Structure 1
């Protein structure tokens, strides 16, 4: 199966972001992809974190979900829909949610981001929990013969989440990594997750200077089970494509059967 990681530089205009996402999905299919993934916050990068509250959708309803469903159906494509704001139990919070659509346009999986990013360097601070309500459950789905484990951005720093998905063939990490942390840790962590779980990793990201003055690292990539980077988009809008090779998976797991050697 050929897979595609779509990189975006989303802004505060929902309509423009949905048009850009549709264009990238069409490009992925034109390059032979059967599964494509969009980045975290593909639909909205507002001027303030709280902006996403106004665009929160109820599961099964809303223009963001309608666009993803239509694209999956018309393109006959598996879509890992980055993240979008889904209404939470409390009125001043949303879930940062990944929805997966099958080629029939149906939702087949939902994952709510579990680990919420926060930092405080003494000069400035940030906390996603001011707006987001965390998820609690790991989620995987089957795309034909492919078992896929879901995660989002900051989840990448917590390897125990990915262990919960074994055995699987692909790990998905839609993200909007900051430029500072991405430069130092993004590729390092993605390759580590691929190697330790002996599976492919698809990591679609935000990548560039946004209208809200935030700069994201980009470098959307696909990594193989040996930690080799198969495709990457450094910065700006684009699509990284690569094939998932069952023989390569089997070879890596046979020559170094680390998963079978686990004790804890």
Structure 2
């Protein structure tokens, strides 16, 4: 029997402060619910994002006092809908913060947390260098949100390049794996679609990746193109470059059906790492 679910990514712009970030999320959430969405997904750093001389410098607050988390919790309760907060910047130890995502239920209660594991430390060009680890404390735990709608594995942005995390979540029972992001335009144009499709195909799971879009105050820009993909790797919805609601009606029974056709998770075999394999020269 089909298990239909109406879902929506809220493709927001990177906002420089709490108030504008919450306002943007609220207006899109209201529109998505009007369109029938039952489960909403926000991008990475949806609580605000700026940069400062190549450093990721979002507005930060302690979890208990975070105005965007509180505002989105109130919004979920008012709309009667589950909301995935892709991530916000939460005060951490010392001068650093956590890039932390949340699952909020339809009564406004936080039901799960995920701290981004893989941090974005890259040199794209002489003028575009990012060192997320200078500011962020990495997470250590893979997380699956067990909701009445679906079992949802949570990753964030740069995690997309590490397929072992996605495989772990799929084998752990996730039906949907999300990757909220603020992917750069440069890397997005080159890799965003192919990486998302690859993760869907490898895991035979729905992939839902809400990505911020547009210029970032302080320098840089996010790619947009929030995606909803089927377990077969088909693009069901693509948000393009403008802010808006990116919606699709999915059937969760497709997960089991696709895995039965391509049982790559079950067919995996143990093997020795390359460094442990003795190599012999030709005689």
Which interval holds the TM-score relative to the shorter structure?
A: over 0.9
Tell me the TM-score normalised to structure 2 length: 0.88
1:131-171 Cα deviation digits (max 9, x unpaired): 11111111111121511000000000001111111222100
Counterpart Cα distance in 1 of 2:178 and 2:164: 15
Instruction: For residue 243 of structure 1, give the secondary structure of its aligned residue in structure 2.
Output: strand
**Change over 3 Å in CA distance of 1:246–1:45 after alignment to 2:** closer
Choose from 116, 120, 124 the match for 1:117. Answer: 120
8 A contact 2:39–2:81 mirrored in 1:
yes
2:275 matched residue in structure 1: none
Choose from 94, 102, 105 the match for 1:102. Answer: 105
2:90 matched residue in structure 1: 86
Counterpart Cα distance in 1 of 2:23 and 2:185: 25
Instruction: Give the unaligned 5+ runs of structure 1.
Output: none
Deviation, structure 1 residue 243: 1.8
Choose from 43, 48, 64 the match for 2:47. Answer: 43
1:197 matched residue in structure 2: 203
Please say if 1:218 is aligned against 2:221.
Answer: no
Deviation, structure 1 residue 28: 1.3
Structure 1 residues 94-103 or 13-22, which shifts more? 13-22
Could you say what the CA RMSD is over the residues aligned between the two structures, in angstroms?
Answer: 1.5
Counterpart Cα distance in 1 of 2:124 and 2:65: 39
Instruction: For residue 244 of structure 1, give the secondary structure of its aligned residue in structure 2.
Output: strand
2:64 matched residue in structure 1: 60
How many residue pairs were aligned? 261
Structure 1 residues 235-244 or 121-130, which shifts more? 121-130
Choose from 155, 176, 182 the match for 2:182. Answer: 176
8 A contact 1:45–1:212 mirrored in 2:
no
Instruction: Give the unaligned 5+ runs of structure 2.
Output: 271-283
8 A contact 1:155–1:161 mirrored in 2:
yes
**Change over 3 Å in CA distance of 1:132–1:240 after alignment to 2:** same
Deviation, structure 1 residue 121: 4.8
Counterpart Cα distance in 1 of 2:56 and 2:160: 24
Instruction: For residue 208 of structure 1, give the secondary structure of its aligned residue in structure 2.
Output: strand
Deviation, structure 1 residue 33: 1.0
2:28 matched residue in structure 1: 24
Structure index of larger Rg: 2
2:249 matched residue in structure 1: 243
8 A contact 1:11–1:212 mirrored in 2:
no
2:273 matched residue in structure 1: none
